[in-house]
Amino acid sequence: MQLVFASNNKNKITEIQSILPETIKILSLEDIGCYEEIPETADTIEGNAILKANYVSEKYGFDCFADDTGLEVDALNGAPGVYSARYAGEQRDADDNMNKLLAALKDSSNRKAQFKTVIALNLKGKQELFTGIVRGEITLEKFGNKGFGYDPIFQPEEYQETFAQLPLEIKNKIGHRGKATQLLIAFLKAIE
């Protein structure tokens, strides 16, 4: 089976392809000739995943899936949430985003947070949603150099390391994107 993954984020593509069975090959937006920035104007994580999947299906005619992820911090009433990638501005710089978040939490003892990924699958004219959540907390400083985004400051429950310190295999097993992708895989296997 071949599906378009509505992303040009090489880190995400590598992470998801490493989870998928060999029977499922993913194509990036670049692979199908989509170079434009897909609008992410919804006010929820689910809404943005749906927007991206629908964009590819409607404009390019491919079965596809899209994801959107947000970091939801308890002490910030769920922020940055849907604005996680642009938390510190439109330049979408991970260091700027982490620095802003660490500054916002500097006087907070409540550092609980969760990563949430929603995958929207458009397949044969139907849409399915799959959600993965991992709880944890925001560290006081950055640790590790693996991963991307907020990984250096997110420590999942029951672990002493941040996502940026953990091997990809463990992150994929316990992480938000991995959990959502496992639900996607189970669904695809059930209909094969």
Spatial neighbors of 140 by CB under 8 A, at least 6 apart, are 102
pLDDT for the residue numbered 11 = 80
pLDDT for the residue numbered 133 = 98
Strand partners, 132: 117
Q: Decide if 43 is catalytic.
A: no
Q: Note the pLDDT tens digit of each residue in 62-83.
A: 999 999 999 999 999 999 999 9
Choice among 43, 63, 67, 68 that is catalytic: 68
pLDDT for the residue numbered 150 = 96
pLDDT for the residue numbered 56 = 96
Spatial neighbors of 40 by CB under 8 A, at least 6 apart, are 48, 51, 52, 68
Give the count of beta carbons closer than 10 Å to the beta carbon of residue 61: 10
Q: Note the pLDDT tens digit of each residue in 129-146.
A: 999 999 999 999 999 998
pLDDT for the residue numbered 146 = 87
pLDDT for the residue numbered 23 = 86
Q: Where are the domains of the chain?
A: 2-191
Question: CATH says 2-191 is which class?
Answer: alpha beta
Low-confidence ranges of the chain (pLDDT < 70): none
> CA-to-CA distance for 2 and 23, rounded, in angstroms?
8
If you write DSSP's letter for every residue of 73-111 in order, what string do you get? EGGGTT-EETTGGGTT-TT--HHHHHHHHHHHTTT-S--
